[in-house]
């Protein structure tokens, strides 16, 4: 594996052009369900010709009439990461010139003005004609394949990364390693043409890694549960199950797999969830539809907690959000 050190800014939040909102496809005998994670934050890819470049903004326009962001103004700040699209090296914003083609990733917050304005998290510039512009993806799952790995980045796309892939460091990942890839990681990927290995739809020639702060990752299906890639032993009555189109997950088993613990107050029927350091993360009552943080303010669960044979179950979405976990999509 080749590795090249590139100093760059850390992207300030989670990125994705097409965040994989996981919809499970259960066996025919199982009731259907869908998991819609709320921990992922969407980033939108925009592109166009720089028709105007100012000190802290660039106005992009493209001729694609079907592109709802064909005319947009990007605001640029100290947190904006500007990269050379070919080398991946960090460059200054003054390399963005009028009449250049520019690609960028912005957050979902935009002004209602025409054209809309958004803050640019990442800008790719110095793009040669007919060049395959790198794309930003988030790892959904990783599987060994040959001398490398197949990396699922959305429900339809698997990318292959072999042992010779060139990995570029960023400020958030100083020493990237192929073996350390995990669900939730974000990669800027340069893809190569030609045949792909294993069952992948594309092969990555070069990638820049960015860290995203999750407490871990979780895979769940009816009768199955794993945390951080390790299967959780399920005693009878603790298996995930489907109820009203939602996958219900045993809360205690997830918390304990992460090194935390649960305190149960029988009299008040209150569950207090603690992290590995013993700090209270949140509290909830069995069979109720709210939870509370340390401030005491009550917030809504997606669906009410379920107490079944002495085990408290929460919807997968609530477990992911409350424990700050990434959903692993297989």
Using the predicted structure, report yes or no on whether residue 286 has a pLDDT greater than 70.
yes
Cβ 272 vs Cβ 283: under 8 Å: yes
Collapsing DSSP states into helix, strand and coil, what is residue 93? Answer: helix
- DSSP H or E stretch at residue 318: helix 316-323
Residue 166 burial (CB count, 10 A): 15
- Look at residue 38 in the predicted model and tell me its pLDDT: 62
How many alpha carbons lie under 13 Å from residue 290 in its C-beta half-sphere?
6
Residues 6+ apart with CB under 8 A from 87: none
Q: Mean pLDDT over all residues of the chain?
A: 88
- Each residue's pLDDT tens digit, 223-255: 999 999 999 999 999 999 999 999 999 999 999
Cβ 250 vs Cβ 240: under 8 Å: yes
Report for 19-23, 41-45, 197-201, 300-304: range of highest mean pLDDT: 300-304
Distance between CA atoms of residues 121 and 325, nearest Å: 23
- Interstrand relation of 325-327 and 216-221 (parallel, antiparallel or unpaired): parallel
Tokens (6 digits) for 56: 């802290």
Of residues 241 and 19, the one with the higher pLDDT is 241
- Look at residue 199 in the predicted model and tell me its pLDDT: 78
Tokens (6 digits) for 42: 């969407």
The pLDDT confidence band at residue 18, using thresholds 50, 70 and 90, is very low
Tokens (6 digits) for 283: 């509290």
The C-alpha R_g of the chain, in whole angstroms, comes to 22
* Dihedral (Cα; 97, 103, 106, 112), 10-degree rounding: 70
Quote the Cα angle for 278-281-283, to 5°. Answer: 110
Using the predicted structure, report yes or no on whether residue 12 has a pLDDT greater than 90.
no
Cβ 310 vs Cβ 243: under 8 Å: no
- Each residue's pLDDT tens digit, 248-273: 999 999 999 999 999 999 888 899 99
- Interstrand relation of 166-168 and 158-161 (parallel, antiparallel or unpaired): unpaired
Bond before 246 cis per omega within 30 degrees = no
The pLDDT confidence band at residue 8, using thresholds 50, 70 and 90, is very low
Mean pLDDT of 93-116: 94
The pLDDT confidence band at residue 89, using thresholds 50, 70 and 90, is very high
- Each residue's pLDDT tens digit, 164-196: 999 999 988 889 999 999 999 999 999 998 777
Q: Nearest to residue 271, comparing CAs of 279, 282, 255?
A: 282
The pair phi, psi for residue 256, each rounded to 5°, is -70, -35
- Look at residue 242 in the predicted model and tell me its pLDDT: 97
Using the predicted structure, report yes or no on whether residue 9 has a pLDDT greater than 70.
no
Spell out the domains of the chain, with CATH numbers in brackets: 216-327 (3.30.457.10)
- Look at residue 2 in the predicted model and tell me its pLDDT: 47
């Amino acid at each position: 594996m080749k590795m090249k050190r590139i100093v760059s800014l850390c992207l300030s939040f989670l990125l994705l052009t097409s965040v994989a909102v996981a919809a499970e496809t259960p066996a025919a005998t199982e009731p259907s369900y869908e998991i819609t994670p709320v921990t992922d934050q969407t980033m939108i890819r925009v592109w166009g010709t720089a028709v105007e470049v100012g000190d802290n903004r660039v106005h992009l326009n493209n001729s694609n009439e079907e592109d709802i962001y064909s005319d947009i103004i990007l605001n640029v700040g100290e947190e904006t990461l500007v990269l050379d699209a070919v080398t991946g090296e960090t460059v200054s914003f003054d390399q963005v010139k009028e009449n250049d083609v520019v690609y960028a990733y912005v957050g979902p917050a935009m002004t209602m003005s025409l054209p809309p304005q958004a803050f640019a998290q990442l800008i790719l510039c110095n793009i040669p004609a007919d060049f395959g512009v790198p794309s930003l993806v988030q790892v959904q799952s990783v599987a060994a394949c040959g001398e490398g790995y197949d990396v699922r980045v959305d429900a339809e796309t698997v990318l292959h990364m072999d042992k010779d892939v060139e990995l570029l460091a960023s400020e958030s990942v100083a020493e990237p390693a192929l073996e350390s890839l995990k669900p939730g990681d974000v990669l800027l990927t340069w893809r190569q043409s030609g045949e792909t290995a294993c069952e992948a739809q594309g092969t990555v020639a070069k990638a820049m890694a960015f860290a995203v702060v999750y407490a871990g990752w979780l895979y769940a299906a009816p009768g199955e549960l794993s945390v951080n890639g390790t299967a959780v032993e399920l005693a009878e009555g603790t298996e995930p199950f489907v109820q009203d189109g939602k996958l219900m997950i045993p809360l205690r088993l997830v918390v304990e797999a992460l090194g935390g613990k649960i305190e149960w107050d029988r009299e008040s029927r209150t569950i207090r969830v603690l992290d590995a350091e013993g700090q209270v993360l949140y509290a909830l009552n069995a069979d109720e539809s709210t939870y509370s943080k340390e401030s005491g303010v009550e917030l809504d669960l997606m669906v009410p907690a379920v107490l079944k044979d002495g085990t408290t179950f929460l919807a997968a979405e609530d477990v992911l959000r409350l424990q700050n976990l990434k959903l692993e999509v297989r």
